[in-house]
Structure 1
């Protein structure tokens, strides 16, 4: 399966998981729309839309870097229009952009609350909504959100209600749109990591240095997303996938290459039950 010639619209693709998904598709010769906010270097976060574009093109793809605020309808529409003008359409939409604050109710001010809900839930709805008219014309169209499996156990909410609700909002939209557009053959799915992923969100978290050593690299999600995009959109829809389950189903049995430290016990990510069965040889524990 190849994504050669396909156009992917990826939010938050200037670094981390979004960039990794773009680079994997670029190796096939895909067109990557890098829809992100960072156009100038950030003092703490590596990567801009321009540096990401250089990496995409060096990997074999074609890149369109566009400054996008997923909270702003006009900004998203302008980026989609630019993508269609440049590449002729959109085949795959990836809702990767996300805001995080693992804080309790009293510690979450409303500015932070609004940011998480506007970027995560509202942004996913908006970007998906504006991509759908173009996905209708695509062959095997997919919408993928980096969102957790729907599991409404109170333990996932207690420590950070606002963040959890915003991420589950993304999941609910994937479930709803999968049902709404099933007869049109557009796939809507969620993808989530079993373990923490070595990104800035983990690096700057409390105990980040140790947690980074117990994390996998973003490439595991990129490979899992690539596999999902190759599945038939009419049947592979309405699912909430874990990254290593996708790859195990594709025949991957050695996951050590994705680990920052192959000898470490991996830290299970939020919204994943540590007792849930993992592929053979995968060792996970509490973060």
Structure 2
């Protein structure tokens, strides 16, 4: 292991090729962490994320991963350790959002979403619990819609409620390890995932739900992840609602 490995903190960001995940990867890279960008299938977007981190003077590497598959996730962690020397921060930004009324919701769609949002978070957290070094952080992604209880969001909100439970319990299970575990719960944020299929009227209405009367940006969310990954060592076992005061 080189001296540079010994002095560099290393972050894994799943879902790091697009949206909030990409912004988090870029922010952590700017904070001085070496970043491993975990992505599902979009090679081009992953390469663009790596290039964006490197353009700001950071170091990054992209690894294709299926977050719900333990063998694939183990390979992701192995690659991070081999390339950069270890793992200090794990950010679970990979997620799927499928909307529809509960009574008519397709159960195959429910299972697909559950596989990524719940099983994926569980598998990544399991490896993180075993490998993150002292002084590290695990950051999962929840959602503010759990409190809003918006129609058509039941299946998605339920999957993120499970993420809350995993996060709070894991924080206690890592007692004595000097590793923090938190969940970030964004409100409506201007990403492709959120905007897809929504009319301008719906987007405008949701932007007005918070007192700041705007959608969040990926940068707003990345700021909070940066805090949790760095100086925010006294924040542990929490669900942080990052939504401009919406709820």
Common fold by TM > 0.5 = yes
Match of 2:52 among 51, 55, 67: 55
Distance in 1 (alpha carbons) for counterparts of 2:72 and 2:62: 13
Q: How does 1:167-186 map to 2 (within 5 A)?
A: 167-186=160-179
Per the alignment, residue 125 of structure 1 pairs with: 122
Q: Say whether residues 1:116 and 2:116 are aligned partners.
A: no
Q: 1:105 to 1:210 in 2, by over 3 A?
A: closer
Residue of structure 1 in register with 2:143 after alignment = 148
Paired residues for 1:57-96 under 5 Å: 57-96=54-93
CA shift digits 1:165-214 (9 cap, x unpaired)? 11111111001101111222211101122x41110022213225762774
Aligned counterpart for 2:199 among listed residues 203, 207, 230: 207
User: Aligned in 2, Cα 1:239/1:99: closer, same or farther, shift over 3 Å?
Assistant: same
Higher RCO (CA < 8 A, seq sep 6+): 2
Please tell me whether the aligned partners of residues 191 and 241 of structure 1 are also in contact (alpha carbons under 8 angstroms).
yes
Aligned residues: 233
2:20 is aligned with 1:5: no
Unmatched tracts of structure 1, length 5 or more = 42-47, 245-265, 274-287
Contact 2:94 2:116 in 1 (8 A): yes
| Distance (whole Å) between structure 2 residues aligned to residue 81 and residue 219 of structure 1 | 29
Could you tell me whether the CA contact under 8 Å between 1:31 and 1:87 is conserved in 2? yes
Alpha-carbon spacing, 1:158–1:203, altered in 2? closer, same or farther (3 Å) = closer
The normalised TM-score by structure 2 is 0.85
Structure 2: gaps spanning 5 or more residues = 1-6, 208-213
The alpha-carbon deviation at position 232 of structure 1 amounts to 5.5
**What is the Cα-based RMSD across aligned positions, in Å?**
2.4
